[in-house]
């Protein structure tokens, strides 16, 4: 069945009452039937729709000789004929009291402002307490209530309405009857209501008719972009962001992440948009996941990827911070969630981004606060389960801790699409730097970019220990270069020296004495010489004694190892040897020992113990097996015997001693190289890979 409609099949003109009857004829008929049977009914809809729904229901009930009483809170004339000002709620209560206690026949009492009987936190107002008894007092009355979808009702009021109808948006099958012939010409030669529906699915029919009647532009345009832009502006209401983030142009690197997004989401949506058969479109819509989890370390661009999805499908975006949703007032957090989803549905196509989703959606039963998180998770699940397959609304949750999220959120049908966005690798960092270079007009040379790529492969200087470079760090680095160029009025290309200055300009360095620098230079020279002589150690990128790495007076920075995924015994033994090189160089060249090797010894011991206990490299003394000496959480391992523990400790000490002796042998055989490298470090503070290559010749 084709989704394109000939112009002649569309209505010539439509009044608002006609449009309401066409759009909601089925629920209106059902409500009328329920009311005639004496069943109270609650209708959830927008305020501007409720008068038209009531008018249509009143006409139908009048034909069945069932009278309606509309309690809208308008002031009533007093005995002298003048209006008595009593306020909306006060007048409505007075009208309700008269209706309940003065009724002598069966009739429908309409409450168009039922949600005003509650506070914004879902509790009862002081006036509403009087209303509760009135609502249950007269069994001859049949109640018809209207509520706005962003408000919740107290359970004592909800129990009064066994039948409820939610009239949010427009049924897709009715849209082709709600566009006039003149309006359809604004969309081109062949009108496609399915394409229009993705932009107006959350609007009620009254707003839709007002919007369509105000569209401007020529008839039968070759490209309908202009008219869709008008609709997009009207549905977003100026409150939501319309992003312009191109997945390929504005996000560097992450080719694997992009391929997954494109193949699983964007390609499916693109294929759906070109279909002309309604059955095929429905089948395709069922394949699209509406809930997504983007997880990874901070600063890796999770929100940027979500905005790129929105840009690709022309969707509006609302970014919600998890902590901002929380409220100490009972029910207010859930109401905020309802309003977020309501606005997103009314502004479809849209993407809701819950930043820091784990702040309120962690596994139920793990909360230590007031317990509001439990209600928020339940509300979130309710909203997501209420999506229709033809509504183009996506929910993206970003988190650094995907493992703590509530399992109910991660099942298929909810947040079923999971996307990991890790720290950028070398190729990713190169592409990210190129984008920032172009955006900020830095004019980086190829050598400067490659230097920055290598330098950002390690931990961030001056940051907390263990902090790796993310996209945000690279952005900050390039902004630092741009500020320096602005201050110094630089117009030429950005070279390696400029990048190095940006890395180290504001890093706090220790003010070491000449004697202290000599100790640090000797220590780092020992590491470097052992590394150069160990075949399984990666190439050295840079050696420094400037104290520009957090927690260290000096360092030896290596290039990324060629083998990233396979770790061998020989490589680990070389690592221990290199770690031992610093302290042994101090003993050989200074005949003294500083405490700077403490961290090296800790790391060397960890590696040696892992070789013996976990990797089966303990030799005949220990045997082949898994012999952890420390229990891990949840582990059911058996306790090791004293003999086994002694064997393990003995073999760990043997490995450490063997590699220490190996380091001594290397340094003794290459003592002139160690002395020369030490002197170079004292003179230049930093020695790079090129200088090391000259030293080895």
- Distance CA(384)–CA(291), nearest Å, equals 8
Active site residue 524: yes
The rounded distance, in Å, linking the Cα atoms of 27 and 20 is 11
Residues 6+ apart with CB under 8 A from 228: 199, 314
The two tokens of residue 3 are 């989704």
Neighbours of 356 (CB within 10 A): 19
Task: Give Rg (Cα) of the chain.
Answer: 36
Rounded Cα–Cα distance for residues 490 and 318 (Å): 40
Residue 32 CA, chain-centre distance (Å), reads 44
Q: How far apart are CA 208 and CA 217, in angstroms?
A: 18
Q: Are 329 and 121 in contact (CB under 8 A)?
A: yes
- The structure tokens listed for 397 are 């949750």
> Rounded to an integer, what distance in angstroms lies between the CA atom of residue 202 and that of residue 346?
4
- Three-class secondary structure of residue 660 per DSSP: helix
CA distances from 484 to 63, 468, 492, 507 (A): 80, 24, 12, 15
166 DSSP β-pair partners: 44
Residue from 214, 207, 179, 219 nearest 195 by CA:
179
Q: State the Cα–Cα distance between residues 377 and 359, nearest whole angstrom.
A: 11
The dihedral sign for the CA sequence 372, 377, 381, 383: positive
Parallel/antiparallel/unpaired status of strands 415-420 and 540-544 = unpaired
Per-residue burial over 258-277, b = 16 or more CB atoms within 10 Å of its CB, e = otherwise: beebbeebbebbeebeeeee
Query: What is the rounded CA–CA span in Å between residue 450 and residue 316?
Result: 37
Q: How far apart are CA 61 and CA 36, in angstroms?
A: 8
Q: Which two tokens stand for residue 49?
A: 């729709």
**Active-site residue, selected from the candidate residues 44, 383, 524, 586:** 524
Q: How many CB atoms lie within 10 A of CB 130?
A: 14
Q: Count CA within 13 A, CB hemisphere, residue 692.
A: 21
Bond before 349 cis per omega within 30 degrees: yes
Could you tell me how far CA 285 lies from the centroid of its own chain?
23
Number of C-beta neighbours around residue 136 at 10 A: 12
DSSP 8-class letter at 570 = H
Contact partners, residue 16, CB within 8 Å, separation at least 6: 52, 205, 206, 209
Which residues are part of the catalytic machinery?
A: 524
């Amino acid at each position: 069945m084709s989704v394109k409609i000939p112009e002649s099949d569309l209505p010539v003109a439509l009044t608002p009452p006609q449009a309401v009857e066409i759009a909601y004829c089925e629920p209106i008929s059902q409500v009328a039937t329920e009311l005639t049977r004496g069943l109270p009914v609650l209708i959830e809809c927008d305020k501007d729709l409720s008068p038209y729904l009531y008018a249509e229901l009143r006409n139908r009930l009048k034909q069945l000789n069932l009278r309606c009483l509309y309690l809208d809170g308008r002031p009533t004339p007093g005995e002298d004929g003048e209006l008595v000002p009593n306020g909306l709620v006060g007048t409505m209560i007075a009208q309700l009291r008269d209706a309940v206690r003065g009724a002598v026949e069966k009739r429908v009492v309409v409450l168009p402002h039922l949600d005003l009987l509650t506070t914004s936190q879902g509790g009862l107002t002081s006036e509403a307490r009087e209303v509760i008894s009135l609502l249950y007092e007269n069994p001859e009355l049949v109640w018809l209530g209207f509520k706005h979808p962003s408000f919740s009702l107290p359970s004592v009021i909800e129990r009064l309405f066994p039948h409820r109808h939610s009239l949010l948006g427009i049924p897709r099958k009715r849209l082709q009857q709600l566009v006039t012939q003149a309006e359809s010409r604004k969309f081109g030669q062949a009108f496609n209501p399915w394409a229009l529906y993705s932009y107006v699915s959350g609007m009620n029919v009254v707003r839709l008719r007002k919007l369509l009647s105000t569209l401007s532009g020529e008839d039968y345009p070759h490209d309908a972009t202009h008219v869709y832009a008008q609709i997009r502006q009207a549905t977003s209401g100026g409150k939501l962001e319309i992003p312009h983030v191109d997945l390929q142009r504005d996000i560097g690197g992450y080719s694997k992440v992009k391929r997954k997004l494109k193949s699983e989401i964007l390609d499916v949506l693109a294929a759906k948009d070109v279909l002309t058969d309604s059955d095929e479109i429905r089948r395709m819509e069922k394949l699209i996941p509406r809930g997504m989890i983007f997880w990874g370390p901070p600063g890796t661009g999770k929100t940027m990827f979500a905005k790129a999805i929105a840009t690709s499908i022309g969707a509006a975006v609302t970014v919600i911070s998890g902590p901002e949703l929380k409220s100490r007032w009972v029910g207010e957090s859930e109401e905020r969630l309802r309003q977020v989803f309501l606005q997103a549905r009314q502004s479809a196509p849209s993407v809701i981004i819950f930043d820091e989703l784990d702040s309120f959606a962690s596994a139920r039963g793990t909360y230590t606060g007031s317990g509001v998180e439990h209600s928020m998770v339940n509300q979130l699940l309710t909203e997501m389960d209420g999506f229709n397959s033809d509504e183009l609304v996506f929910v993206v949750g970003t988190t650094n801790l995907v493992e703590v999220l509530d399992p109910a959120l991660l099942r298929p049908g909810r947040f079923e699409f999971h996307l990991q966005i890790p720290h950028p690798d070398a190729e990713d960092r190169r592409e990210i730097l190129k984008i920032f270079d172009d955006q900020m007009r830095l004019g980086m040379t190829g050598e400067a970019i490659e230097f920055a790529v290598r330098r950002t492969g390690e931990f961030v200087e001056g940051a907390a220990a263990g902090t790796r470079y993310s996209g945000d760090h690279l952005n900050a680095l390039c902004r630092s270069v741009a500020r320096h160029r602005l201050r110094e009025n630089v117009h030429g290309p950005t070279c390696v020296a400029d990048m190095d200055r940006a890395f180290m300009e504001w890093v706090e360095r220790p003010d070491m004495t000449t004697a202290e620098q000599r100790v640090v230079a000797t220590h780092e020279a020992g590491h470097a010489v052992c590394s150069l002589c160990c075949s399984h150690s990666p190439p050295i990128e840079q050696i420094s004694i400037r104290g520009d790495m957090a927690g260290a007076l000096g360092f030896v920075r290596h290039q990324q190892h060629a083998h990233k995924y396979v770790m061998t015994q020989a490589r680990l033994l070389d690592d221990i040897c290199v770690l031992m090189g610093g302290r042994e160089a101090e003993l050989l060249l200074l005949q003294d020992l500083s405490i700077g090797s403490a961290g090296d010894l800790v790391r060397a011991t960890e590696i040696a113990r892992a070789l013996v206990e976990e990797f089966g490299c303990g030799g005949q003394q220990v045997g082949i097996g898994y012999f952890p000496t420390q229990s891990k959480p949840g582990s059911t391992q058996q306790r090791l015997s004293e003999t086994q523990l002694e064997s393990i400790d003995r073999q760990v000490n043997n490995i450490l001693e063997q590699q220490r002796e190996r380091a001594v042998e290397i340094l003794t055989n290459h003592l002139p190289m160690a002395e020369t490298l030490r002197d170079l470090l004292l003179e230049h503070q930093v020695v790079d890979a090129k200088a090391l290559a000259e030293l080895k010749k």
